[in-house]
Amino acid sequence: MTAFSDHWSLTDDELAQSGNGRNFNDNEIHPLLSRDSQMAIEDAVRQILVNVGEDIERDGLIGTPGRVARAYAELLEGYTQNVETLINGAMFDVEYGDGEMIVVSDIEYNSMCEHHMLPFSGKAHVAYIPNQKVVGLSKIPRIVDMFARRLQVQEQLTNQIADALNDHLDAAGVMVVVEGHHTCASLRGVKKHGVNMTTTSKRGTFKTDAALRDEFYHLIGK
Ligand SMILES: [Zn+2]
């Protein structure tokens, strides 16, 4: 059994109607989950509640398993998406200066760490050097969002964004900088690295050209 029903083929419009962000009734099944999956998640949440010493019959907790299941469906909806569907043909031939970069900065994201299933969030900054093709501006934040809405570590998230752009754009170079605040570190009082973390991924010319990297850092104010 897969945890999420198969929505790989959803169009943008259908995804917009997937129910994210709206209010649900107590017993409602989230559109991105099968009934079996939601029931299984709800049972697991009840097990957690009982085993931390809670009374699952008390008023405040009656609807909690359903709410948690629907929240996970939304926070982890990236499992129902893929890069091809998101880009959806929004690639354009553009005459742009040879070796010039395109930068999309301050892309806010929210993710969940795969080690603790606790949130981490921050900003992603993306640069690429097009090789004939550019991608529609709105698509880059959506790609960031898709990978963020899967269980993640920040290092992997950074690499996945870089690889997706590199593979789909056939770019001359791609660089991604991700900043993250990790609640699994801050909430648990760990006063070491990992609370605020910056990760980078470089592909193509960004690997070899320090001046290009410096220009990118300058453009994103780093
Ligand atoms: Zn963690």
The pLDDT value recorded for residue 9 is: 43
What separation in angstroms does the CA of 104 have from each of 123, 182, 220?
A: 11, 23, 9
Residue 114 annotated to the active site: yes
Highest mean pLDDT among 2-11, 117-126, 194-203: 117-126
Domains of the chain: 12-80 (1.10.286.10), 89-219 (3.30.1130.10)
Residue 42 annotated to the active site: no
The percent of residues above 90 in pLDDT, for the chain, comes to: 71
Residue 49: left (phi > 0), alpha (psi -120 to 50), or beta? alpha
Residue 125 annotated to the active site: no
Residue 30 annotated to the active site: no
Residue 136 pLDDT > 70:
yes
What separation in angstroms does the CA of 30 have from each of 7, 56, 146?
A: 13, 21, 18
Q: What is the largest CA-CA distance in the chain?
A: 65
SS3 state at 83:
helix
Residue 184 annotated to the active site: yes
> What is the distance between the alpha carbons of residues 161 and 174, in angstroms, rounded to a whole number?
9
Mean pLDDT of 130-145: 92
Check: CB of residue 4 under 8 Å from CB of residue 33. yes
What separation in angstroms does the CA of 60 have from each of 55, 65, 67?
A: 10, 11, 12
Chain centroid, CA 24 distance in Å: 23
Q: Within 10 Å of residue 13's Cβ, how many Cβ atoms? A: 7
The pLDDT value recorded for residue 95 is: 77
Place of tokens 């193509």: 204
Place of tokens 């010493």: 53
> What is the distance between the alpha carbons of residues 131 and 99, in angstroms, rounded to a whole number?
8
The string of pLDDT tens digits covering residues 152-183 is 999 999 999 999 999 998 899 999 999 999 98
Residue 94 pLDDT > 90:
no
DSSP string, 124-140: EEEEEE-BSEEE-TTHH
**Better-scored residue on pLDDT, 188 or 214:** 214
What separation in angstroms does the CA of 134 have from each of 26, 91, 137, 147?
A: 44, 6, 9, 20
75-79, 88-92, 190-194 — which is least confidently predicted? 190-194
**Better-scored residue on pLDDT, 19 or 66:** 66
Residue 150 pLDDT > 80:
yes
The pTM assigned to this predicted structure is 0.86
Q: 181 CA to middle of ligand 1, Å? A: 11
The pLDDT value recorded for residue 23 is: 81
- Catalytic, out of 116, 132, 168, 181: 116
Q: 114 CA to middle of ligand 1, Å? A: 6
Nearest to 142 by CA among 87, 73, 203: 87
Residue 154 annotated to the active site: yes
Q: 75 CA to middle of ligand 1, Å? A: 16
Residue 113 annotated to the active site: yes
Q: 73 CA to middle of ligand 1, Å? A: 19
- Catalytic, out of 113, 125, 152, 179: 113
The pLDDT value recorded for residue 97 is: 72
